[in-house]
Amino acid sequence: MKLTGAQILCESLLKEGVDVVFGYPGGQVLPLYHTLTQYPQLRHILVRHEQGAVHAADAYARVTGRVGVCFATSGPGATNLITGLANAYMDSIPMVAVTGQVPRAMIGRDAFQESDITGITIPITKHNYLVMDVADLAKTVKEAFYIASTGRPGPVLIDLPRDIQQECAEFHFPARVNLPGYKPTLGGNPLQIKKAVKLLGEAKKPVIIAGHGVRISRAYKELKFLAETLQIPVLTTLLGISGFPESNPLSFGMIGMHGLAPANMAITNSDLVVAIGMRFDDRATGKISSFAPHAKVIHIDIDPAEIGKNVAVDVPIVGDVKTVLVELNKEIGPVRHDEWLTQLSDWKKQYPSGIDIRESETILPQYVIRKIWEATKGNATVVTGVGQHQMFAALHYYYDKPNSYITSGGLGTMGFELPAAFGAQVGLPDETIWCIAGDGSIQMTIQELGTIRQENSPVKIAILNNGFLGMVRQWQELFYQHNYSSTPLWCPDFIKIAEAYGIPAQNVTRKEDVGAAIKKAMETEGPYILNFVVEPEENVYPMVPPGAGIDQILHEPLKEAC
């Protein structure tokens, strides 16, 4: 039986197990949207801006481990996906984006709402397709999902001319893909694993740095086994947070620019770094020349191009983190590193600044995060925007639940939090999702409150309202002589905005009300917004100044510079 291109796409999505799509219609995807109503199994969620669709699909993918799917029309619809695609690309998120395109005969003529979206997205997608023959469509979808979800995951875009959506072809969904140029390596090289085992046996001061790869490959058990058997302290990157339980005595927290002092000190003094599913981002390493100067490096990553890219590696192991760890774990036996662990614990006592909250009459953002943690007992998924609030949420909530900290790491996209929290809630309908928002960040995609209301999504939103673009203001304070150029931020009355969207909300201005407000939000069915008016000039500490080594830690505000 012949089907239209639009039907072939829908059928193919069903074959891939897709049940939810985030999107926004328009002229060049009309045939697809027309067809969608024949497929009630494909729940389409209408967002308010295409950036909302792509971030929602992104977070949906992060929490479920499935491929997130979004639709947009051609031209402005497609270009509105750019930030979200770049975000998904930087954080290795499996995603398939389908965009409408002008009919084939119009391509290249600057037709109304034409944009060369495959050309534009080459550097920010893992792969992309412009479908020029309806007979290729099913195969293209199969390939797109395969590429998006295997190896190092990433976004794949399919550009679909309008006439292809209408043309008919036989529907054959291929059982397998055949991509001779794409063969991800899953298992580690046995020789390299042997070498790693040897180094692990010799190390006196080893550390594990767990990155996003641990979470992507869901290697929680395997990481725990490795760390506990060999008694190695575990540090995480920002995206590695919630890959290893922070209540574990071997957990020493986040590394990098806002990493905890003991974690950064441990790296600097270590003799072996076991980097697992991380890519040595400059925000994690600080100045490369002073990163782990005394250490040998074992690097496990599925992407061979990551190995040796930023840091010289002694033992490269290319493969899926979980598979490699299973193999590695077979070869190891119990070891102790008591002296080393004592040293780390001493540092922890010596430098408590990262997690201590100072006394204050006013509401400190850290305090709000801590109270949310207390109220949820850690049993929630936290989604953040980008800025100080993101770092406070990283440092002051304790992540024991696997994969429970969702943030934009690689691209650092303000405006990620609201659509992502919504997308996460779609993926985890029965779980508590807390959206930790900045007053600046949330305003970039605040229209997604409309989506949240329309879907009655029970997202709990905490705005940490400091009246500034806080993180930038912090840099201006520390490194630009307090010159607050364009960082004071006028905010609308968030309560009235919430009211306009039909979402219950509450201002919280007194410290003693914080706990009760959080409780109220959690007891209220459906979405809830809390606007916490926090200390305006609170800073994130510890901090490693940009360009410095990660052991050059600022624990306190600098005195007035020059």
Partner 1 sequence: MASNKHTIVALVADRPGVLNRMASLFRRRGFNIDSIAVGHSETPHLSRMTIVAEGSDSQVEQIRKQVEKIIDVIRVQDISGLDIVSRELALIKVKASAETRSEIMQIVDIFRAKIVDVSTDSVMVEATGDEEKLSSLYNLLKPFGIKEMTRTGRIAMARGGQVARREEAAE
Ligand X SMILES: Cc1ncc(C[n+]2csc(CCOP(=O)(O)OP(=O)(O)O)c2C)c(N)n1
Least Cβ distance, residue 393 to partner 1 (angstroms): 32
Q: Which of 179, 558 has the CB closer to partner 1? A: 179
Using CB under 6 A, which residues numbered 394 to 413 contact ligand X? 412-413
Nearer to partner 1, 121 or 384 (CB): 121
Q: Closest separation between CB of residue 147 and partner 1, Å?
A: 6
Residue closer to partner 1 by CB (options 304, 515) is 304
The phi, psi pair for 21, rounded to 5°, reads: -135, 135
Using CB under 8 A as the binding criterion, the count of chain residues that bind partner 1 stands at 18
Nearest-approach distance from CB 365 to ligand X, in angstroms: 7
Q: At what angle do helices 321-330 and 190-202 cross, to 10 degrees?
A: 60
Q: Does residue number 84 form part of the binding site for ligand X (CB under 6 A)?
A: no
Closest among 122, 88, 96 to 18, alpha carbons compared = 96
Q: Are 347 and 265 in contact (CB under 8 A)?
A: yes
Q: Is 385 in the site for ligand X (CB under 6 A)?
A: yes
Dmax over CA atoms of the chain, in Å, equals: 77
Q: Which of ligand X, partner 1, none has residue 182 at its interface (CB below 5 to 8 Å by kind)? A: partner 1
Residue 126 lies near partner 1 (rule: CB under 8 A):
yes
Residue 17 interaction partner, one of ligand X, partner 1, none, beta carbon < 5-8 Å per kind: none
**What is the closest distance, in whole angstroms, from the C-beta atom of residue 268 to partner 1 in the complex?**
24
Site membership for ligand X, residue 420 (CB under 6 A): no
Least spacing, CB of residue 502 vs partner 1, in Å:
45
Question: Rule CB under 8 A: is residue 147 a binding residue for partner 1?
Answer: yes
Residue 128 found at the interface with ligand X (CB under 6 A): no
Is 303 near partner 1 (CB under 8 A)? Answer: yes
| Residue found by looking up tokens 């990155």 in the block | 211
Q: Which amino acid is at 172?
A: H
Pull the structure tokens for residue 548.
């410095």
In eight-state DSSP terms, residue 402 is T
Alpha helices in 176-219 (DSSP H): 190-202, 212-216
130 lines the binding site for partner 1 (CB under 8 A) = yes
C-beta separation of 43 from 19 below 8 A: yes
- Number of Cβ atoms within 10 Å of the Cβ of 38: 11
**Of residues 5-44, those binding partner 1 (CB under 8 A):** none
| DSSP, residue by residue, 116-158 | -HHHHHGGGSSEEEE---GGGHHHHHHHHHHHHHSSS--EEEE
Would you count residue 122 as binding partner 1 (CB under 8 A)?
yes
Considering only residues 318 through 347, tell me which ones interact with ligand X, judged by CB under 6 A. none
Token code pair at residue 115: 């944009």
Residue 531 interacts with ligand X (CB under 6 A): yes or no: no
Asked if 548 and 523 touch (Cβ cutoff 8 Å), the reply is: no
Query: What phi and psi values does residue 23 have, to the nearest 5 degrees?
Result: -165, -175
**How far apart are CB 250 and partner 1 at their closest, in Å?**
33
Report if residue 119 touches partner 1, rule: CB under 8 A.
yes
φ and ψ of 501, to 5 deg: -90, 0
Give least dist CB 149 to partner 1, A.
14
The answer to whether residue 464 forms part of the interface with ligand X (CB under 6 A) is: yes
Residue listed under structure tokens 């072996």: 272
Q: Does 536 contact partner 1 by CB under 8 A?
A: no
d(CA 96, CA 98): 7
Instruction: Check residue 537 for interaction with ligand X (CB under 6 A).
Output: no
- Residue 388 within binding range of ligand X, rule CB under 6 A: yes
Distance from the Cα of residue 461 to its chain's centroid:
18
With contacts defined by CB under 6 A, name the span among 128-136, 376-384, 435-443, 500-508 that binds ligand X.
Answer: 435-443
Which residues have a Cβ under 8 Å from the Cβ of 369 and sit 6 or more positions away?
A: 392, 393, 395, 396, 397, 436
The residue range among 107-115, 172-180, 194-202, 413-421 that interacts with partner 1, by the rule CB under 8 A, is 172-180
Rule CB under 8 A: say whether 127 interacts with partner 1: yes
Rule CB under 8 A: say whether 123 interacts with partner 1: yes
Number of residues that bind ligand X (CB under 6 A): 19
Q: Of 117, 59, 122, 127, which is closest to residue 93 (Cα–Cα)?
A: 59
For ligand X, the closer of residues 371 and 389 by Cβ is: 389
Query: Which CB atom, from 434 or from 468, has the smaller least distance to ligand X?
Result: 468
Reading the block at residue 173, the tokens are: 């969904």
Q: How far is the CB of 125 from partner 1 (least distance, A)?
A: 10
Q: Does 104 bind partner 1 (CB under 8 A)?
A: no
Which own/partner contact pairs does 554-560 have at CB distance under 8 Å and 24+ positions apart? 554/478, 555/261, 555/351, 555/353, 556/353, 557/477, 557/478, 558/478, 560/481, 560/482
Candidates 116-124, 356-364, 413-421, 479-487: pick the segment binding partner 1 (CB under 8 A): 116-124
Among 304, 502, 515, 545, binds partner 1 (CB under 8 A): 304
Among 39, 182, 225, 475, binds partner 1 (CB under 8 A): 182
Judged by CB under 8 A, does residue 108 bind partner 1? no
Does 205 bind partner 1 (CB under 8 A)? Our answer is: no
Which is nearer to ligand X, 378 or 440 (by Cβ)? 440
Per the DSSP assignment, residues forming a β-bridge with 505 are 529
> Counting contacts by CB under 6 A, is residue 466 touching ligand X?
yes
- DSSP annotation string for 46-107: E-SSHHHHHHHHHHHHHHHSSPEEEEE-STHHHHTTHHHHHHHHHTT--EEEEEEE--GGGT
Which residues of the shown chain bind ligand X in the complex (CB under 6 A)?
385-389, 412-414, 438-441, 464, 466, 468-472
Which residues of the shown chain bind partner 1 in the complex (CB under 8 A)?
118-119, 122-123, 126-127, 130, 147, 178-182, 303-305, 308-309
